[in-house]
Structure 1
Amino acid sequence: MTSGGEGAGVSAPGAPGQPLEWKFSQVFGERAAGEEVQEVDIISAIEFDKSGEHLATGDRGGRVVLFERTDGKDLRSRRELERADYPTPRHPEYRYSTEFQSHEPEFDYLKSLEIEEKINKIRWCQTANGARFLLSTNDKTIKLWKVSEKKLKNVSNLNVDPSARLSNGNLVGTSPVQSSKNYVSPRSSNGGAVRRTLPPISTEVVFPPGGIPSLHLPTVWSHETALVARCRRVYANAHAYHINSISNNSDCETYISADDLRINLWNLEVSDQSFNIVDIKPVNMEDLTEVITSAEFHPSHCNMLAYSSSKGTIRLIDMRQSALCDRHAKLFEEQEPPGSRSFFTEIIASISDIKFARGGRYILSRDYMTLKLWDVNMEAAPVATFKVHEYLRPKLCDLYENDCIFDKFECCLSGDGQRVATGSYSNLFRVFGAVPGSEEASTLEASKSPNRRLVQTPLRSGNRLFNVRGRRDNRGRGGDSPGSDINGGQYDFTSKLLHLAWHPVANVIACAASNSLYMYYA
């Protein structure tokens, strides 16, 4: 991708209620035709930082890959660009920056349990002294990483020519003391990193007969820099169950981590202790009726956080009320219509992800069938409901048998809060207008031609809910085809777009399709 321009280069937000025209921007790690994807290369987490200048992804192999924004970093001045009539970038563009191994596979000998290295979540922290910090977690252990630039030093003006060696008493050459090491080259054209090993170099230094007549100090100099990741903290042994969420507080000093039954509060500077603020574990585990599925801090109120459960509820808690937040301040729960319960009701009601809007006024939640937008001042019902998988309702039995009904799809909001997005099957993702009166409901495919499966579905409004239908028959009007998806194609439950993120300022979406990272702009 080309880069250029000195300005910010972000996309202007679309007018409220007007559908956006999404276009392909970039792809990293694209698969070649017939190429087999390794399990460890599948992306499992995506996160923009607050400025949108950096993007991080984590995979099932425990690696974290960082990307940095390149547009707007042209070395020429704005006046020179204007003279050259240089076009300013229309959207943010990124390039591979660096990667590091965040987690390794472990084994819990007490429980005879293997702990995967898969990255569950990544969260950016406050930048300090030009260095970037981020949290990454697998099922059990959270780590704080510092990524900073380090100057690469070189030694020149040596007393002995390093290219020569001693042969038959004559000085033919010597070698400086070095050791073999690994390094990672910039990513290849398809986004994959190429890892090479430098051969070991002889550590023997031999001087010529009679020595060297004149000795001088070698010169140490640096001509380039490289990004180096260092682990600063390891937060371990605090969760008995799998960690599903981490979230930074707005005070930039604390964060929370959540597993199935507990939420812990950490100080970033203290790694050997945490405070348990939510505990829903019953005395008798047979009485367990729900588990925690996601948790997130309020974006501006450091004392407020929300967490969702497998029963389809969202609880807003205030840490000022008590040290153990066993009582919620607000409970968001939608009442079921009479006679609508079935075997699958509680399964599909389980919330897999929640996100606060930037201002903290709204909470977006994703269950298996729908996206719901909640107003924190209205607990009885969501202000908007977007039907994502309504066309799969006749196939719930098949989804239960192949375990797809337990897939955990993420959701995200645009920076201005006017639109929401989430993923689906067949590597599709959907974008909805979240403002009243909006008729935006676009379905796009994670490929270089996202609009080839685009569906613009008219909004169907009710008294209190803005119901977005995702159904289409051969004529494109209403009805669900039991053997096809929302675009008339066949189901592909093996291709799942679970993870995606929205740029905090621009209309840019990054989404993961297997091991490939696709980016789109509007």
Structure 2
Amino acid sequence: HTQINIYKTVKLWKISERDKRPEGYNLKDEDGRIRNPSTITSLRVPVLQPMDLMVEATARRVFSNAHTYHINSISVNSDLQTYISTDDLRVNLWNLEITDRSFNIVDIKPSNMEELTEVITAAEFHPQQCQTFAYSSSKGSIRLCDMRQAALCDKHCKYFEEPEDPSTRSFFSEIISSISDVKFSHSGRYLMTRDYLTVKVWDLQMENKPLETYQVHDYLRGKLCSLYENDCIFDKFECVWNGSDSVIMTGSYNNFFRMFDRNTKRDVTLEASRENSKPRAILKPRKVCVGGKRRKDEISVDSLDFSKKILHTTWHPQENIIAVAATNNLYIFQDKVN
């Protein structure tokens, strides 16, 4: 089963595969038209005929009327009975069997909306502890909450935030520190967050600073003014762990996506495009140069296409297979197979 949110509604879908179709009905012909019963002279037994594999999605449940603002994230609990949906100001807890009622577990809406200083940007359940979830904010902080402490989790049990460096403060500081995605590692020991320029890995036992920081596209730091003018600075990039939590992946512009190996500290930039998406084609690493002489295999930061952005990526939970959404194309890549 999978879930999808359309603005303020969550739908539960069943996804299935079909490679056979029934033929030889009695009451309708092969085109589906109802037959005249008076023309039926014999009884047929319908048979299943092979056909090309089809993937079908069927909506099973619709959860609605619980959000005032657009939903920005949903996360299924490890108990497989409940899930949370999150908008700018609230986190709601649902039972998968009950579509008309949810419980509000986080509410940051002030009595006077003019006093609003931050919004919720993402939330996720812990992969093993079904009572624990985390949510991130537009001010660059992450709150860890325990649902056993109170019905309304307005008090967090842990608060993660990196102190700002006063020497690098600018007009854009608050915008680029806004967290667009938060993901627990499969082990449950770490949290990964994505802001505009970086990916950070946090140890749940250390709240005052991230354990690791990875620069996604630091060459854009000098272009924040134009990125603000064309609204790209508000793009919300996701981040994802591989199955063993040793590599992390996130998207960038020009249909580039980045991978960082946490053990070797090596990183690579790859491109999802039609030119290199032929079956069994090997992706070549890409490099972006800032000013100065450009090598033949490099691309200048000034020629990056900001309309081509990879916001959504995912990694197979066990295998080295990734899916990357680039504008209206979905690319699936796998590790080299000898």
Q: What TM-score, normalized by structure 1, do the two folds share? A: 0.58
Q: Given residue 153 of structure 1, which amino acid in structure 2 is its aligned partner?
A: P
Measure, in 2, the Cα distance between the counterparts of 1:243 and 1:271: 16
Contact 1:412 1:501 in 2 (8 A): yes
Q: Does 1:332 align with 2:160?
A: yes
1:454 aligns with 286
Q: Which has the higher contact order (CA 8 A, sep 6+)?
A: 1
1:142 aligns with 10
* Deviation of 1:506 (Å): 2.0
Note closer, same or farther for the CA distance 1:337–1:251 as it changes in structure 2 (3 Å cut).
same
| Offset from partner CA, 1:148-183 (integer Å, 9 cap, x none) | 467743336x7xxxxxxxxxxxxxxxxx5459xxxx
Contact 1:144 1:232 in 2 (8 A): yes
Contact 1:264 1:275 in 2 (8 A): yes
Q: Does 1:445 align with 2:271?
A: yes
| SS of the residue 1:294 aligns to | strand
* Deviation of 1:388 (Å): 1.3
* Deviation of 1:391 (Å): 0.8
* Deviation of 1:517 (Å): 1.5
Measure, in 2, the Cα distance between the counterparts of 1:224 and 1:388: 47
Measure, in 2, the Cα distance between the counterparts of 1:471 and 1:382: 28
Measure, in 2, the Cα distance between the counterparts of 1:304 and 1:471: 43
* Deviation of 1:206 (Å): 5.2
| SS of the residue 2:78 aligns to | coil
Choose which of 267, 283, 296 in structure 1 pairs with 2:124. Answer: 296
Q: Does 1:508 align with 2:318?
A: no
Contact 2:196 2:233 in 1 (8 A): yes
Note closer, same or farther for the CA distance 1:148–1:397 as it changes in structure 2 (3 Å cut).
closer
* Deviation of 1:471 (Å): 6.6
1:370 aligns with 198
Measure, in 2, the Cα distance between the counterparts of 1:397 and 1:420: 28
* Deviation of 1:419 (Å): 1.1
Q: Does 1:423 align with 2:251?
A: yes
Q: How does 1:181-220 map to 2 (within 5 A)?
A: 201=33, 203-204=35-36, 207=39, 216-220=42-46
Note closer, same or farther for the CA distance 1:299–1:476 as it changes in structure 2 (3 Å cut).
farther
Choose which of 217, 220, 226 in structure 2 pairs with 1:389. Answer: 217
* Deviation of 1:204 (Å): 3.9
Instruction: Provide the alpha-carbon RMSD of the alignment.
Output: 2.5
Contact 2:289 2:300 in 1 (8 A): no
Note closer, same or farther for the CA distance 1:227–1:366 as it changes in structure 2 (3 Å cut).
closer
Note closer, same or farther for the CA distance 1:381–1:450 as it changes in structure 2 (3 Å cut).
farther
2:300 aligns with 488
* Deviation of 1:202 (Å): 6.7
Contact 2:268 2:285 in 1 (8 A): no
Contact 1:453 1:487 in 2 (8 A): no
| Offset from partner CA, 1:76-107 (integer Å, 9 cap, x none) | xxxxxxxxxxxxxxxxxxxxxxxxxxxxxxxx
| SS of the residue 2:94 aligns to | strand
Choose which of 19, 23, 30 in structure 2 pairs with 1:154. Answer: 23
Larger Rg: 1
Note closer, same or farther for the CA distance 1:388–1:205 as it changes in structure 2 (3 Å cut).
same
Note closer, same or farther for the CA distance 1:499–1:228 as it changes in structure 2 (3 Å cut).
closer
Measure, in 2, the Cα distance between the counterparts of 1:420 and 1:375: 15
Q: Given residue 320 of structure 2, which amino acid in structure 1 is its aligned partner?
A: N
Measure, in 1, the Cα distance between the counterparts of 2:17 and 2:333: 29
Note closer, same or farther for the CA distance 1:408–1:439 as it changes in structure 2 (3 Å cut).
same
| Offset from partner CA, 1:107-141 (integer Å, 9 cap, x none) | xxxxxxxxxxxxxxxxxxxxxxxxxx221111111
Contact 1:474 1:488 in 2 (8 A): no
Contact 1:146 1:232 in 2 (8 A): yes
| Offset from partner CA, 1:292-351 (integer Å, 9 cap, x none) | 000000000000000100000011001010000000010100001124322111000000
Q: Given residue 145 of structure 1, which amino acid in structure 2 is its aligned partner?
A: W
| Offset from partner CA, 1:235-281 (integer Å, 9 cap, x none) | 00000000000000000100000000000000000111000000000
Q: Given residue 358 of structure 1, which amino acid in structure 2 is its aligned partner?
A: H
Measure, in 1, the Cα distance between the counterparts of 2:91 and 2:248: 27
Q: Given residue 305 of structure 2, which amino acid in structure 1 is its aligned partner?
A: D
* Deviation of 1:221 (Å): 3.1
Measure, in 1, the Cα distance between the counterparts of 2:141 and 2:294: 34
Note closer, same or farther for the CA distance 1:418–1:265 as it changes in structure 2 (3 Å cut).
same
* Deviation of 1:203 (Å): 4.3
| Offset from partner CA, 1:365-422 (integer Å, 9 cap, x none) | 0000111010000001001101112111111111110001001111111111111111
Q: Which runs of 5+ in 1 are unaligned?
A: 1-132, 159-175, 180-197, 456-469, 478-485
Identity %: 53
Q: Given residue 318 of structure 2, which amino acid in structure 1 is its aligned partner?
A: V
Measure, in 1, the Cα distance between the counterparts of 2:293 and 2:262: 27
Note closer, same or farther for the CA distance 1:329–1:202 as it changes in structure 2 (3 Å cut).
closer
Q: Given residue 408 of structure 1, which amino acid in structure 2 is its aligned partner?
A: K
| Offset from partner CA, 1:30-68 (integer Å, 9 cap, x none) | xxxxxxxxxxxxxxxxxxxxxxxxxxxxxxxxxxxxxxx
Q: Given residue 288 of structure 1, which amino acid in structure 2 is its aligned partner?
A: L
Q: Given residue 310 of structure 2, which amino acid in structure 1 is its aligned partner?
A: L
Choose which of 212, 227, 247 in structure 2 pairs with 1:399. Answer: 227
Q: Given residue 134 of structure 1, which amino acid in structure 2 is its aligned partner?
A: T
Note closer, same or farther for the CA distance 1:136–1:287 as it changes in structure 2 (3 Å cut).
same
Q: Does 1:499 align with 2:325?
A: no
Q: Given residue 500 of structure 1, which amino acid in structure 2 is its aligned partner?
A: T
* Deviation of 1:434 (Å): 1.6
| SS of the residue 1:239 aligns to | coil
1:306 aligns with 134
Contact 1:444 1:450 in 2 (8 A): no
Q: Which runs of 5+ in 2 are unaligned?
A: none
* Deviation of 1:229 (Å): 3.5
Contact 1:368 1:408 in 2 (8 A): yes
Q: What TM-score, normalized by structure 2, do the two folds share? A: 0.88
Q: How does 1:118-129 map to 2 (within 5 A)?
A: none
Contact 1:314 1:331 in 2 (8 A): yes
Q: Given residue 302 of structure 1, which amino acid in structure 2 is its aligned partner?
A: C
Q: Does 1:269 align with 2:97?
A: yes
